[in-house]
A and B are shown apart, each in its own frame.
Chain A
Amino acid sequence: MTIDLRNVRFAYPEAPERTILDIPRWSISAGEHVFVHGSSGSGKSTLLNLLSGMLRSPVGEVSVLGQRLDQLGDRQRDQFRANHVGYVFQQFNLIPYLHAVDNIQLASYFSKGKSAGSVADEIAALLSRLNISEEEWLKPTSTLSIGQQQRVAIARALINKPELLIADEPTSSLDQENRDNFMAVLMSLADADNTTLVCVSHDMSLSQHFNRIDAMDEISAGGTAD
């Protein structure tokens, strides 16, 4: 099991009476590509933050890649995320004033502490596979198009060869053509490395790329309030 959640109940400390998530049991096996859809406010982002270890669940078990994230300390969860989890957001995936190579190197810097030289080849290979032309590699990412930025974001998320890739509305800022392009690249890369993929979106048209589709309100009983 890549992901196994049991009896997770989560509320933010600021509003303890408002349960955002209430998940009796939810699991994903290795290599699965899961599409999670739900309206905004259904607790999607909170769920992803629990999986990546940004948040810690005080109740229940959150097991990712065999690690009980609910039992790890802050520093350990940061390290776990750097080593094992890739993350792609809707936007602001890159530090705008760094160029693509620096952005990707930064991600590997927080991981196992590989030297910049040893990952340079991997970065070049990834960027080529993602159709980023070489002259764009050393430009500040703020000068790239949104489509290019999202593809660099995939490279940034995959540089540490994470077992789990999380995508949070990754295509919402893209047009139709870029969206299809993005999803195709994402899927092929995830397949190639047998990466487990969890993608959340409200855009049901993305679901065609996935073999498993979960609805947020089936996973969790909470999060009804908006």
Chain B
Amino acid sequence: MFLRLATKSLINRRGSVLLTLLAMAVGIFVLLGVEHTRNQARESFANTVSGIDLIVGARTGSLNLLLYSVFRVGAATNEIEWESFNAIASSPNVAWAIPIALGESHKGYRVMGTTQAYFDHFSYGSQRKLVIAEGQPFTDVYDVVLGSEVARKLGYSLGDELIVAHGIAEVSYALHDDSPFTVVGILAPTGTPVDQTLHVSLKGIEAIHIGWEQGVKLQGSTELRESSDLSVLEPDHITAAMLGLKSRAATFKMQRLINEFADEPLLAILPGVALTELWQMMGVLENVLRLISLLVLGSAVLGLAAMLLASIRERDQEIQLLRVIGAPPLFLFLLIELEALLITAFGVALGALVLFLCVVLVDDWLMVSFGLHVSPLIFSGDSVYLIAAVLLATLVAAATPSFNAYRRARLVD
């Protein structure tokens, strides 16, 4: 009877109740949406690289090394000698090593020189290896394997030729147009910066730079290249390296060894640690988003309280009637609290439902456009606490109108 009275009373005032409910749903939508995006972003962030024990680069900041080697953001300040890489790669603790040479680009997408080891050992997410959706890994000097986004956005398919630009500017005038690459493979989407990368062999990087020793194309470079034996090319420098160790236990020992490398100043970082550091830098943004969503929700809760307070005045006679048929003032207090709770509960349900539908609908589009997968499970552990907090806030905010009803119930006429 209690619940029935509350629901019927709400239905009776459906206009203002519905608006309040919608405001609440919007607040919940924003709060859960921000919370979900935050969790998904953090997860996808942490998933950009996995199974790699150490990243090695020239001595710089650890964040800088992480950014240019994994996220392809920014530029390396210095390079690693090829001899140093070989020395580290042949160390007894190292199971495998992936060399990386950056510095070229194609229409704004980074070109990365590497070896077959990249396709064999690089993994992301929960230990997922790269999958070649079409074609095969590079074998020839002028072969290129495209990340999925590069292939899709630029419309390349197997067998197409493309020209790599010197440097990493979006619009470059120093083109390696005398040595086009052929697309031999296209990777499956990963949702990581791999999708935005063109992968070529280290030999390819060396080959296009023959005759470019001054940083620009010199007269006769094409002829020079054609007369060279490309199959024996060896790089002088690479930008960074990713290492897999035989035993995790050797990680710190190996890191120290590299950091104290005698021939040149090097830096080795643990990707997980550096990722955490980077994520913490974004913590401010996270908190701002959270604050905004809490404010939106707070205003919805206050709106609810205001609506109920106004309704108490209209319901004076109703309150008197309930009193006369024996309702104690506490009943009226609880009745208003229940009405508030019902509005919030339906607001939460509606907001969560709309968010769920949005995530499900947008998921395909995100996967296609950005290679991102968003989980439709919008209730993480935190959001359950948040919803509990919202319900509690509702009870607190509704205490004023409820007490008002209680007080009026105690007055006679």
* Contact partner, B326, options A89, A97, A110, Cβ 8 Å: A110
The complex places the Cα of A132 from the Cα of B328 at a distance, in Å, of: 30
Q: Given A54-B412, A105-B1, A116-B1, A97 and B325 touching (CB < 8 A)?
A: no
Q: For residues 372 through 413 of chain B, which have their beta carbon under 8 Å from a beta carbon of chain A?
A: 410, 412-413
7 A-B pairs besides A74-B328, A102-B4, A109-B1 with CB distance below 8 A are A55-B412, A78-B326, A82-B327, A87-B324, A98-B5, A106-B1, A110-B331
Report which A residues bind B (CB closer than 8 A).
45, 49, 52, 54-55, 74-75, 78-79, 81-83, 87, 89, 92-98, 102, 105-107, 109-111, 116, 156
Contact of A111 with B326 in the complex, beta carbons under 8 Å: yes
| Closest beta carbon of chain A to B187's beta carbon, Å | 63
| Closest beta carbon of chain B to A211's beta carbon, Å | 26
Contact of A107 with B412 in the complex, beta carbons under 8 Å: no
* Set of chain A residues within 8 Å of B326, measured between Cβ atoms: 78-79, 81-83, 107, 110-111
* Contact partner, B327, options A92, A96, A110, Cβ 8 Å: A110
The residue on B at minimum CB distance from A92 is B317
| Closest beta carbon of chain A to B223's beta carbon, Å | 93
Q: Does B11 contact A (CB under 8 A)?
A: yes
Chain B, 308-329, contact with A by CB distance < 8 Å: what is the 0/1 string?
A: 0000000001101111111111
* Contact partner, B325, options A75, A92, A110, Cβ 8 Å: A110
* Contact partner, A102, options B8, B12, B324, Cβ 8 Å: B8
Q: Which of A45, A49, A110 has the most CB of B within 10 A?
A: A110
Tally of contacts, chain A with chain B, CB under 8 A: 64
Contact of A95 with B1 in the complex, beta carbons under 8 Å: no
Contact of B412 with A156 in the complex, beta carbons under 8 Å: no
Is chain A's binding surface mostly helix, strand, loop or mixed? helix
Number of B residues near A (Cβ < 8 Å) is: 23
Contact of A95 with B327 in the complex, beta carbons under 8 Å: no
* Set of chain A residues within 8 Å of B324, measured between Cβ atoms: 52, 54, 81, 87, 89
Q: Does B9 contact A (CB under 8 A)?
A: yes
6 A-B residue pairings within 8 Å (CB atoms): A78-B326, A89-B324, A97-B8, A98-B5, A106-B5, A107-B325
Contact of B5 with A78 in the complex, beta carbons under 8 Å: no
| Closest beta carbon of chain B to A53's beta carbon, Å | 9
* Contact partner, A87, options B9, B11, B317, B325, Cβ 8 Å: B325
* Set of chain A residues within 8 Å of B323, measured between Cβ atoms: 54, 78
| Closest beta carbon of chain A to B334's beta carbon, Å | 13
Q: Given A95-B5, A106-B5, A78 and B317 touching (CB < 8 A)?
A: no
* Set of chain B residues within 8 Å of A83, measured between Cβ atoms: 326
Contact of A106 with B412 in the complex, beta carbons under 8 Å: no
Q: Which of A78, A102, A105 has the most CB of B within 10 A?
A: A78
Contact of B1 with A97 in the complex, beta carbons under 8 Å: no
* Set of chain A residues within 8 Å of B5, measured between Cβ atoms: 95, 98, 106
The complex places the Cα of A156 from the Cα of B324 at a distance, in Å, of: 11
* Set of chain B residues within 8 Å of A45, measured between Cβ atoms: 413
